[in-house]
Structures are given as structure tokens and as C-alpha cells.
Amino acid sequence: MIIQKSFKYELRLTSSQEEACCQIAGACRFVWNKSLALKKEAWEKDKKNIHRFELDRFLTEWKNELDWLSFPPSQSLQQVNKDLDVAFKNFFRRLKEKKEDPGFPKFKKKGRNDSFRIPQGVCLADQLSKKVGVVKVPKLGKFFFTKTREIEGSIKHATISRMCDGWYISFNCKVEIIDPKKEKELIVGIDRGVKRFVMCSDGKEIKGVSPFKRNSKKLARFQKELSKKKKFSSNWGKIKIKIKTIHLHIRNIRKDFLHKASSQIANSHSIIVMEKLQTKNMTKSAKGTIDNPGKNVTAKRGLNRSILDQGWYMFQQFVEYKMLWTGGRVVYVNPRYTSQRCSVCGHTSKENRKTQTFFCCLSCMHKENADLNAAKNILAEGHSVLACGVEALASAMKQELQARRPSTV
Ligand SMILES: [Zn+2]
């Protein structure tokens, strides 16, 4: 099986190389904004889409007019039009699906997500030392990077991007893995919680990290300082960088944790049963709509923040692809009643769960940790999904949706 994997490293640029990267990223941003403006106009005027080949022709014109636009590798600029094409395809798809916010592609601002892609011709040269890798970039020459781990497979393309603490290169590689097969069938149900990140049906648990919570005081302090400074002054800029660095730090901790947690679960099981959680909908619901304003907005917001904080959605994605790589599979079940049902006798009632942490069945008096009880229910649901196929789940979900839909008078 061939999979795509990316490997990201910090670049060690000379000042002239850094300047070149800034220029290319700026040129890419320029092309993005110019092309987007054209596409936006065509769309707003007559709901038309300009194809990227047409945009590439405009690009040639712009290059003739502007000298500095001929410095970046042509392919990097053409790549921008390709990316824009994808952004519009996604927009049209969401429009077709009648999504609340189809997300029209946005203009890019200087200093935010500066990056460019080198679609072809990137290759590695002999390493300078054990820790310093060398990459040859067409038109730009040799770049050094801090090699923190080995690159696997063959490089397809590379992306150079700026984070608040420097420039990075990410290699996208084609990696061949031996068709995996798990040695034994091991199925587990997992319940995702706020207090405990994951509770497994076999009683194992993974505690979460809340990097945002841990850094929130520091962030608030800098944000307050920032508000006192004159906008765009040099001191304002310094604090802004500090804030960005904290955000990056938070992101890194979270990602690292999610990788470890997902590997731990994926490596030791062949089937993982999870609830299908719509994290996006959950985070949206706190505010409610104008007709139906949300209750307990602050409390829900707190919960929502910790959901986002722990990155369940990312976790779900990590588990999914890691299971694919290791030959396992993920089964999703309907989250209905999993926290209210007794895992021993099946009695389902809100009253069974008097507190967030404790479950006590009113019918058979079974007492258990509430998350563990839920994980066992999820596992049981998983077994029935596997036994009767996916169709059963789909129809159950449909019924549930229809039941929830308010009747129109
Ligand atoms: Zn019971």
C-alpha cells in the first residue's frame, strides 16, 4: 500500500535566503489575491467560474508588467492558481450541500500563513552532519535544515512556510508500506470525555492535556499589554510575536499529545469503536440562533472550549489514518443514549446518571464510572453494527434525525 506522509523541519536560512523566501511568499500572496479578485468578480456578476488555465494566462501578463514577479519559480506561482481552484471547488461543493457557511475563499494578509509550494524538483543532497540535512531547491539553491528524524519514501513536493519562530520546510512523500495485517482481532470501544480524554471499554484511560488552559493567564496578560500599545509600533510588534509563539506552543503540545494518544490506541487494537461526534455542530450550538438563542451560553462555551482544546476532531482523523496504516478499522456508532444506558441490564434513563462521573442503574443497581459504562455501551453498539452491517446504523441515524425535526404547523 502506498501512503502519503509529510515530514516537517526547521530551516536554517541565511539572511539572503530568508529574504528570497519572503519575496516568493509575497509574490504568491499577490497572485492569490489578484486571481481571487478576478474570480470573485466573475462569480458575483454572473455566477461564473474562471478556470485556472485562464488565470495562468493572466499570470503571464502580470509577469510581463511586474519585474519582481519573474523572480519566484513559475511553478510555485502556478501552484497558487491550482490551490485557488481547489478552494473554489470546495466552496461550490459546500454551496451544493446547502451548508450554513459555504466559506467563500478569503484574501490573504501579509504576515499570516506566509508560504509557498515547490511542486517539483526538490531533492536531498549529502548531509552536512548527523543533525543538519541539505535540500536542493530549484532556482533557490541549497537550504540547510535541522534534521530531527529520517525522511521516508520519495519526495513528491515540498512546502516552505513561516511560523512565528522561523521558516520551515515540509516534505510530502510517497511511502510504501507492507500491506498490514493485525495479528489478532482486538476490538475496543472508546468514550471521549471532557475530564478524561479517552476511556476504553477495557478500563484503560488516557488523561488529556489542556495546554490552552495552562497558558491562558499568560496569554491574557500579553493581550492586555498589547491593547495598551500603539498599533503597529515596534513594542506592539514584539508582544504580538510573543502571543503568536504561545499559540504555536499550545498547538504543538496538543498535536504531540494527540499523536501519542492515537498511536497508543491504534497500535494495540484492530477495531476501534467510537461515537460519531459532530464537533463542529457542538461548538456552534452554544450561541444558538436569533430565533432560538442558546441557554447556558457561558457554561456551554466552557465545555466547548475544552472540546476544542483537546482536539477531538484531530484525534478522530489521526486514529482513522493510523488504523488504515496498520490494517485496522474504525467503526462509528450512534451516540444516542450511550451515557444513559446501563451496560449490564440495558435500562435507559437520565436518572441513571446523577453526576458527570458516576453511573448508578436504577433498575439493577449496577454501579460504575460513568465514562467506563458509556465505553462499554459503545463497544456493544459496535458489535451490533459489525453484525448487522452499516445500513442498520444509517437507518437508525435517519430515524433519529426525523424524530428530532420539529413538526411544522
Ligand atoms: Zn442496570
Q: Write the pLDDT tens digit of every residue in 292-335.
A: 444 455 555 565 566 565 678 889 889 998 988 888 889 999 88
Mapping DSSP to helix (H, G, I), strand (E, B) and coil, where does residue 163 land? strand
Q: Find the 17 Cα to ligand 1 centroid distance in Å.
A: 67
Q: Phi/psi class of residue 309: alpha, beta or left (left: φ > 0; alpha: ψ in -120 to 50)?
A: alpha
* Cβ count within 10 A of residue 303: 14
What is the spatial distance between Cα 52 and Cα 79, in angstroms, rounded to a whole number? 10
Q: Find the 370 Cα to ligand 1 centroid distance in Å.
A: 13
Per-residue pLDDT of 332-386, as tens digits, reads 998 888 889 999 999 999 888 878 888 999 999 999 999 999 999 999 999 988 8
Helix (H) and strand (E) counts in the chain: 10, 14
Helix (H) or strand (E) holding 325: helix 312-325
Q: Is 191 a catalytic residue?
A: yes
Q: Find the 388 Cα to ligand 1 centroid distance in Å.
A: 25
- So what's the pLDDT on residue 409? 29
Which of 24-28, 80-84, 149-153, 288-292 has the lowest average pLDDT? 288-292
Q: Phi/psi class of residue 256: alpha, beta or left (left: φ > 0; alpha: ψ in -120 to 50)?
A: alpha
What is the spatial distance between Cα 257 and Cα 209, in angstroms, rounded to a whole number? 7
Q: Please, which pLDDT band fits residue 285 given cuts at 50, 70 and 90?
A: very low
Which residue of the set 85, 191, 320, 381 is catalytic?
191
Q: Find the 255 Cα to ligand 1 centroid distance in Å.
A: 38
Residue located via cell numbers 495598551: 228
Please name the residues in contact with 299: beta carbons below 8 A apart, sequence gap of 6 or more.
none
Q: Find the 312 Cα to ligand 1 centroid distance in Å.
A: 29
Contact 274, 316 (CB under 8 A): yes
User: Hey, what's the cell of 304?
Assistant: 466547548
In 3D space, the residue among 188, 204, 186, 185 whose CA is nearest the CA of residue 196 turns out to be: 204
For the chain, the straight-line distance linking the first and the last C-alpha, in angstroms and rounded, comes to 55
**Amino acid, res. 396:** A
- So what's the pLDDT on residue 354? 79
Mapping DSSP to helix (H, G, I), strand (E, B) and coil, where does residue 408 land? coil
What is the spatial distance between Cα 79 and Cα 369, in angstroms, rounded to a whole number? 52
Which residue of the set 114, 275, 309, 381 is catalytic?
275
Q: Find the 398 Cα to ligand 1 centroid distance in Å.
A: 28
241-254: burial string, b at 16+ Cβ within 10 Å, e else: ebbeebbeebeebb
Q: Find the 358 Cα to ligand 1 centroid distance in Å.
A: 13
* Cβ count within 10 A of residue 292: 8
Q: Find the 344 Cα to ligand 1 centroid distance in Å.
A: 5
- So what's the pLDDT on residue 360? 93
- Phi and psi for 176 in degrees, rounded to 5? -95, 125
Contact 174, 6 (CB under 8 A): no
Where does 40-84 show beta strands of DSSP type E? Answer: none
What is the spatial distance between Cα 235 and Cα 225, in angstroms, rounded to a whole number? 10
What is the spatial distance between Cα 87 and Cα 55, in angstroms, rounded to a whole number? 14
Q: How many CA atoms lie within 13 A of 44 on its CB side?
A: 7
Which residue of the set 85, 114, 309, 371 is catalytic?
371
- Phi and psi for 180 in degrees, rounded to 5? -80, 150
Q: Find the 350 Cα to ligand 1 centroid distance in Å.
A: 13
pTM here is 0.73
The burial class, CB within 10 Å (0-12 / 13-18 / 19+), for 312 is buried
Q: Find the 201 Cα to ligand 1 centroid distance in Å.
A: 17
User: Hey, what's the cell of 123?
Assistant: 531533492
- So what's the pLDDT on residue 390? 56
Q: Find the 360 Cα to ligand 1 centroid distance in Å.
A: 8
265-290: burial string, b at 16+ Cβ within 10 Å, e else: bbebbbbbbbbeeebeeebeebeeee
